[in-house]
Amino acid sequence: MNREIENTDPLIALKEFTAARIAIGRVGTSIPIKQSLEFKLAHAHARDAVYSVLDIDGLINSLKLYNLPVLHLHSKALSRHKYLKRPDLGRQLNEEWIELLNDHNTGADVAIIVADGLSATAVNENAFHLLEILIPMLRKTGLTIAPLCLVEQGRVAIGDDIGGFLGAKLSVLLIGERPGLSAADSMGAYLTYAPKPGLTDESRNCISNIRPQGLMHKPAATKIFYLINEALKRKLTGIGLKDNAGLIQSDVVPNV
């Protein structure tokens, strides 16, 4: 006889608001077979995302729309195996590309870098959709954009190297985030004012979980655009720059 076991977990109502594994039920001391199989599938997706490959040709083709040079770069980690074993190499640009970047040093306002990170899948699926909103916003306000850079085997800090060699006032790095068991397609954006080699995490602002089921492309682009303008105005990013967009501000002192 088939018998459905009712899930009486008080957290079940929260499933509407999150993809996290909550209120999955149980069978005796184990979890139900359906949820067990879903967990294994999610784990397989996460492993696949870590070994996914940046769609260089597809991204270059899409980005031609903006009539900007597109540079294909590589970190010092020359293989995925080395990238995973040596995070330090993924943070550094391979020296052979430094001269190329110096040749494109125009002192632009913003350098946009797209790196595979720990999920090229996330970048392949989200980067262009975000940039097709963000780049027109930047151009409309008169901000200049450096050549677009696509980086294989890159980690977050490589954006500081590239932005510095391009002479940009600010760098925006789009990168695949570490895949979890509820999302393998999450992209992050890191902003650094006055980028240069050797900066650390407190110098950057991060916007994470950019994907259709998380922070969608339009609000993500709007948030990045706000932070870019604030960073250029205040000449800083990181712990000194807060996202106050949407907060009620007034120059009028209320009556007390």
* 2-26 residue pLDDT tens: 444 455 667 777 777 777 777 777 7
Mean pLDDT, residues 212-229 taken together? 95
Task: Decide if 85 is inside a domain.
Answer: yes
Task: Decide if 23 is inside a domain.
Answer: no
CA separation for the pair 168, 237 (Å, rounded): 14
Task: Decide if 10 is inside a domain.
Answer: no
CA separation for the pair 39, 159 (Å, rounded): 34
CB 151, CB 73: distance < 8 Å: yes
pLDDT digits (tens, 9 = 90+) for 52-102: 899 999 999 999 999 999 999 999 999 999 999 999 999 999 999 999 999
Task: Decide if 150 is inside a domain.
Answer: yes
Average pLDDT, the chain: 88
Percent of the chain with pLDDT over 90: 68
In the chain, the number of structural domains is 1
Q: Which domain holds residue 82?
A: 56-240
pLDDT score for 249: 44
pTM here?
A: 0.85
Q: Give the domain CATH number at 64.
A: 3.40.50.11240
CA separation for the pair 6, 58 (Å, rounded): 47
First-last CA distance in the chain: 70
- Provide the edge-to-edge strand list for the sheet that holds 170-176: 70-74, 148-152, 110-115, 170-176, 187-193, 204-210
Residue 172, pLDDT above cutoff 60: yes
Residue with tokens 């501000």: 249
Task: Decide if 47 is inside a domain.
Answer: no
Task: Decide if 252 is inside a domain.
Answer: no
Task: Decide if 21 is inside a domain.
Answer: no
Type of residue found at 144: T
CB 210, CB 189: distance < 8 Å: yes
Task: Decide if 91 is inside a domain.
Answer: yes
Task: Locate the DSSP E strands across the chain.
Answer: 70-74, 110-115, 148-152, 170-176, 187-193, 204-210
Strands 110-115 and 148-152: parallel
Backbone Cα Rg of the chain:
21
